[in-house]
Structure 1
Amino acid sequence: MSAPLWITATPPASHGELHIGHLAGPYVAADVLSRHLRADGQPVLFSTGMADHADSVRVRALRGGRKPEEVAEGYGAAIAADWLRAKVAFDQIVRPRQDRGYRRWLQNLFLELYGQGIIVARTRLQPYCPSCELWLTGAMVIGACPTCGARSEGSLCHECARPTDAELMDPVCALCGSPGRPRRCRRPYLPLEPLREPLAEYWASTVSSPRLAVLCEGLLEDGLPEVGVGHPGDWGVPVPVDDFRDQRIDACFEAAVMHLFGYGYVSGNEQRSLPERALHFCGFGHSFCHAVLLPAILIARGVKLPQEMHVNETYRIDTERAWDSGGGPGLWALDVLTEFGSDTVRRHVLEARPLGRRTDFRRDRLDRTRQVLEETWNSWLGRLFAAVREECAGLVPDTEPGGAGWEALRRRLLRAAEDLREAYGPEAFDPRRAVALLDEVVSCAADFGYVNVSERRRTRGEHLPPIVAQLSVAAALTSWAWPLMPEGAGRLAAALRMRAGGPVGPGALNPPCPGTRLDPPSGPVFGF
């Protein structure tokens, strides 16, 4: 078997639950691609991790008077449960605090880079909070980004995606609000400038969004930074260097290399070769770790990983229109998945995916998505199942598809199948287009059913071919809709006594075997 195509998604920080923006960003989109490729028979490894050691976990713990371990474990479990509810099916989730050998693996990688002179020691001014007696790094400090001026934390600016490190303007403590006082601090850094030429060559050959390309070009133009990869603190994996015994490996470094552990990449002669191709899904604000720091680490070790970046923008929350029926903010993944189900939520966030521009979440638009599934998709399937029950005693007729307009519709459906393959595929991945194509398929099938409903009044069996034709479309949806709405596609397949998740293509446009007794669900097929 050939090496699997490697799909990764940004590890979320386990300081809180997933919200609707997380689902609209990397996770559902990456799952759609993974499901399509698997259905097509291609080997895939779909992985992510938990950023348990992010400073935001420590901040959450300090504010609530809890231990960081409790925060990470509690929210990590909630995040994993939300992925399951959203039908996001990872092959590998790296759990730093649970996975055996992870801590040693991370420290060995850090130590090798330090021993090779790739990671070096630097003494610089770092903000310090005398009131809390804490060094202000990562989420412990808030200030203005020195590049774009946006409000930022002391690691990465989520607006321009550049590292901020100790250069924040007007830094204040995230816990007490006191101004940070500069103090000399010796920390480990990874200078990127010595890797300028191979990084420039790598970025020139990497498939990415124009905005990400501008980021990389800007870094080259301004001078590649030295990235802090360790900081004083007591939360995280200890830096395995005697000179930094009181420091922890930085969460950005850890998030960048965490996927390598999940893939099985180790050091020395035992290292597993990386795949021929990798596709990473992330929000633009997190792109530095995966588009800059990870390639730099691999290049420094003599490894080039062909990588494509699928970067989304921010999915903004319209707070005035995001309230649920109980008067609370319907923003959390758990809330919307519980109320609307995975089909409705997945379809909605893919249709509104913030690709190339920021988009807004609004409750009324999510309601409208559910309405489309109910009034178009489920309404048509309900009429079809009723026709099979009333006209054919619940059995698939033994006849060929046909009816008024069937040949024209069939040609349109075959073209839609090819367009769906393109929209689902890695070369021109566009889940928004897939949503529009599936809606067109269902609308055309529903119109075909209405046009041919009068055939039932005829006595020579002319009413059966249109029913079989519509069953052909329903059967195709068990494959065509599977990457996008797997829960509903699974219900539809069970109703047709078929297997869900076949290849997306023209071959799926075939009705169930004649004589098959259908078993429609008691409730809606798609959504609920």
Structure 2
Amino acid sequence: MSDPLWLTATPPTPNGELHLGHMAGPYVAADTLRRFLLADDVPALMTTGLDDHQSYVALRGDRDGRGAEETADDYGRRVIAGWRGAQVDFDRIVEPRRLPGYGEFVQAFLQKLYDNDVIQPRTRPLPYCDPCDRWLYEAYVTGACPHCGAECNGNACEACGRPNDCGDLGDPRCTLCGCPAGLRDQRRLYLPLAQVADRLAAFWKRVAMPPHVRAMCTRMLADGLPEIAVSHPTNWGVPVPVLGFQDQRIYVWFEMAPGYLLEFDPDSARPTTGPVQFFGFDNSYFHAVLFPALFMLWDDTVPLPAAFVVNEFYRLAGDKFSTSRRHAVWALEGLAADGVDALRYHVLRTRPTGRQTNFDPGDLAAARTHLHEVWNGWLRGLVGAVHAETGGVVPEERPEGADWELLHGRLTRTSAELREAYSVAGFDPRRAIGLLDEVVYCARDYGFTQSHERERPAYRAALTGQLAAAAALAAWAGPALPAGAARLDAVLETAPGRRVNAAALAPPPPGTVLAAAPERIFGE
């Protein structure tokens, strides 16, 4: 039996709650694809984890005056609550400090690479803060990226996506106290990526990825793939098992590679097909370069990803959403104020696919208003008209005539375009939301024109035609807006979770008694 289609969404860092940038990035999009696949009878497994051992967690704990564990536990609970509130339904969430055997598996993964001489000791300069008396890496150090010059943290640059070695940052400073950092020699474990340069180049040719990520990979290859530090002098994370380095911790992005295997199966069973991975561009180097290199060197039978679904930055009032800087609109607050339909509708409609997009205060409320006035306005009017005309019973009359043929043809073509927008190969949730809006507008306009029909059989037939469009909307909106789609199915007495295809464009059977429409079907 073959594996289900495996979808992964990059584990978030529990140094804060999920914000709308997270939702507009990997999470709602991945869930939308999962729901489409399941409705299409394609087995799908969607997984993620919590990135507990990020230095950003420890840094947040330092700033808040509490430990890293308490910080990870607190925000981890809120992250999971945000997913659940947004109806992002993961099949498996790996929590590193709670999964039995997690640390041992990560350590064995590193030990094997070290024993095979794939990972090697190196002595390199690393920033050190004298006032704080600590080594600086990743979240604890900031400076100028050695590749693009942008301000960035250690180990990776969000702007250009490329890794750094912390010691090569321009004008490094301590994030905690702001003081300039000095450089001291530090012996750490390194992964030389050049040993798999040819294999990575071959992998990049066959994996589906956006041009921005491909260009980053091409530049890295042309410049010569670097050596990557996979251990750091700190007390937060999984301890390094290698003799002489036990006081260091495994670099959390190295840790994530074996962590993905545990997401697939906590008992360490190997997948037989590569995943479709959802992540932001700032994480591209890890997913497109580091993880594939590690799997190639650890066990070349591990299947590599089939596709990367990558989002750019989502901005808040022109500036990047940031958990660390607390520049964000939190998902739980948005859900409480405007509901799950409005949140999912808006973040999918404005998803930063291929370009950065912007969120402004009031956008969620505007989405909720749009759903209520346009979508619910049509649906409530339709259900009300059926109740007024037939006592809520679906008419016997079937739609016909030139207007219906035109609407039916348009919606049939739309169903094919929706299938493409929801599919792995053509995944474009912004397009899907636009098409769903077009379904509503077309059906609503048809209803307006047919409301002037004075012949009762023809009028009832037009109502049935609108009911067919409403039934299609319930099926076609299901992957994107599952809550509202479920409420519409309940009103129409149609089965939930139907396929996104032209067959959904059919009214409930004649004689079906429609429930009264609630005040809000979409956008509760």
TM-score scaled to structure 2, two decimals? 0.95
Q: 1:140-173 CA deviation, whole Å, 9 max, x = no partner?
A: 1111111111111112111111112222111111
Percent of aligned positions that are identical: 46
The SS at the match of 1:234 is coil
For residues 342-384 of structure 1, give each alpha carbon's deviation from its aligned partner in whole angstroms, at most 9, with x where no partner exists: 1111111111111111111112443432232122111000101
Partner in structure 2 of residue 124 of structure 1: 124
**Equivalent AA in structure 2 for residue 181 of structure 1:** G
**Per-residue CA shift, 1:374-418, capped at 9, x if unaligned?**
221110001011011111112222332336611111111111111
Q: Measured at CA, do residues 526 and 409 of structure 1 come closer, stay the same or move farther in structure 2, by a change above 3 Å?
A: same
Structure 1 equivalent of residue 284 of structure 2: 287
User: Partners of 1:185 and 1:238 in 2: how far apart?
Assistant: 17
Shift of 1:265: 7.7
Secondary structure of 2:408's counterpart equals helix
Give the match for residue 263 of structure 2. Answer: 262
Counterparts of 2:248 and 2:446 in 1: how far apart (Å)? Answer: 68
Rounded to whole Å, the distance in 1 between the matches of 2:223 and 2:157 is: 16
| Residues 520 and 134 of structure 1, relative CA distance in 2, 3 Å threshold | farther
Aligned to 1:485: 481
2:332 paired residue among 312, 331, 334: 334
Tell me the distance in 1 between the aligned counterparts of 2:380 and 2:485: 15
Query: How far apart are the structure 1 equivalents of 2:163 and 2:6?
Result: 26
Query: Do 1:6 and 1:278's aligned partners in 2 also have CA atoms closer than 8 Å?
Result: yes
Residue 330 of structure 1: how far off its partner (Å): 7.1
TM-fit CA distance, 1:515? 2.0
Structure 1 residue 464 displacement after superposition: 1.4
For 2:379, the aligned partner's letter is: L
2:198 alignment partner in structure 1: 197
Are the equivalent residues in 1 in contact too, given 2:231–2:250 (CA < 8 A)?
yes
Aligned to 1:19: 19
How far has the Cα of 1:276 moved from its partner? 2.4
Partner SS, residue 243 of structure 1 = coil
Alignment match, 1:250: 251
Structure 1 residues 403 and 446, CA, compared in 2 at 3 Å: closer, same or farther? farther
Q: Specify the alignment match of 1:89 in structure 2.
A: 89
* 2:53–2:252 Cα contact (<8 Å) kept: yes
Cα separation, 1, equivalents of 2:341 and 2:296? 41
Aligned equivalents of 2:274 and 2:477: distance in 1? 26
Q: Tell me which amino acid in the other structure corresponds to 2:505.
A: L
* Residue of structure 1 equivalent to 2:136: 136
Deviations 1:85-121 (Å, cap 9, x if unpaired)?
Answer: 1111111111101112211111111111111111111
3-state SS in 1 of match to 2:307: strand
Q: For residue 45 of structure 2, what is the aligned residue in structure 1?
A: 45
| Pairing of 1:58-457 with structure 2 (within 5 A) | 58-166=58-166, 167-264=168-265, 272-300=269-297, 301-303=299-301, 304-318=303-317, 331-402=329-400, 405-455=403-453, 457=454
Q: How far apart are the structure 2 equivalents of 1:218 and 1:319?
A: 28
1:228 maps to amino acid: A
What letter corresponds to residue 25 of structure 1 in structure 2? Answer: G
| Paired residues of 1:2 and 1:43 also in contact (CA < 8 A) | no
Is the 1:497–1:518 contact (alpha carbons within 8 Å) kept by the matching residues of 2?
Answer: yes
Q: Secondary structure at the match of 1:48?
A: strand
Q: Distance in 2 between matches of 1:179 and 1:255?
A: 31
**Separation in 1, partners of 2:215, 2:4:** 30
| CA distance in structure 1 between the partners assigned to 2:399 and 2:243 by the alignment | 75
Residue 518 (structure 1) shift: 1.5
**Shift in CA distance, 364/483, structure 1 to aligned 2, threshold 3 Å:** same
**1:259 counterpart letter in structure 2:** Y
Distance in 2, Cα, partners of 1:76 & 1:284: 23
> SS of 2:309's equivalent?
strand
What residue identity is the alignment partner of 2:210?
S
1: CA distance, partners of 2:349 / 2:195? 42
1: CA distance, partners of 2:14 / 2:494: 39
Deviation at 1:275, TM superposition (A): 3.5
RMSD: 1.8
State the shift of 1:201 in Å: 0.9
2-side partners of 1:146 and 1:242: how far apart? 32
Q: Residues 52-83 of structure 1: CA distance to partner in whole angstroms, max 9, x if unpaired?
A: 00000000111111011110011011011111
| Structure 1: runs of 5 or more not aligned | 323-327
DSSP 3-state at the match of 2:521: coil
1:319 deviates by 6.6
Whether the 8 Å contact between 2:407 and 2:442 is mirrored in structure 1 is yes
Confirm or deny: 8 A CA contact 1:32 1:484 kept in the other structure. yes
Mapped to 2, the partners of 1:85 and 1:481 lie a distance apart of 18
CA deviation map 1:124-143 (0-9, x unaligned) = 11111122111101101111
Tell me the secondary structure at the aligned position of residue 272 of structure 2. Answer: coil
Contact kept in structure 2, 1:401 and 1:472, CA below 8 Å: no
Give the SS at the match of 2:93.
strand
How many matched pairs?
A: 516
Q: What 5-or-longer segments of structure 2 have no aligned partner? A: none
| Alpha-carbon contact 1:265-1:273 (below 8 Å) kept | no
CA separation in 1, counterparts of 2:328 and 2:56? 23
Query: Aligned partner of 2:260: which letter?
Result: H
Residue 10 of structure 1 deviates from its aligned partner by 1.0
User: Which moved further from structure 2: 368-377 or 134-143?
Assistant: 368-377
- C-alpha contact 2:30 2:278 (8 A) present in aligned 1: yes
Query: For 1:303-337, what per-residue CA distance to the aligned partner results, in whole angstroms no more than 9, with x for missing partners?
Result: 341421111111111079x9xxxxx9871111112
- SS of 2:452's equivalent? helix
